[in-house]
Amino acid sequence: MADTFFSMFTPAEIAKISASGTRVNLPAGWSPIWEDTPADKAYVILDGTVSVRRDGEEVAQAGPGDIIGEAAIMNQKLRNASIVALTPLELIHLSADALRRLNVEMPAFHEALEKVAAERFGGQS
């Protein structure tokens, strides 16, 4: 099984990331991120599974320890996918400002974002 975003951090780093965001719970069927909308937030999944969809078609799933929504913020682009909760979700909501601040202040966070981006986009044709 591939490493998750959160598995790349020490407990102290996870605590810092968690403290930078807000814990939220969302019901199954909810879409916290919509395709072709401005990027103003990202989420780290603590519990639950989401479907990543482009043009209504599932292209991936993400689960506990994964980060979603960060690429559009870092690339300053519109969202390229929608996220739909397949189960109830427990998430850490990170504002765009919080994500950028962590990216600058925490080298490990920056490296993890780059690794996730390389795995997510490097493997697609």
**Is 1 within the bounds of a domain?**
no
**Is 74 within the bounds of a domain?**
yes
In the 8-state DSSP scheme, what is residue 111?
Answer: H
Overall number of domains in the chain:
1
Strand 89-95 to 41-47 pairing:
antiparallel
- Domain containing residue 37: 6-122
What's the pLDDT band for 118 if we cut at 50, 70, 90? confident
Give yes or no for residue 75 having a pLDDT over 60: yes
CA–CA gap between residue 54 and residue 22 (Å, rounded): 27
Query: In whole numbers, what is the pLDDT of the chain averaged over residues?
Result: 92
Give yes or no for residue 1 having a pLDDT over 60: no
With 0.85 as the threshold, say if the pTM is over it.
yes
Question: For residue 22, which amino acid is it?
Answer: T
**CATH code for position 35:** 2.60.120.10
Report which of 5, 35, 30 is spatially closest to residue 86, judged by C-alpha positions. Answer: 30
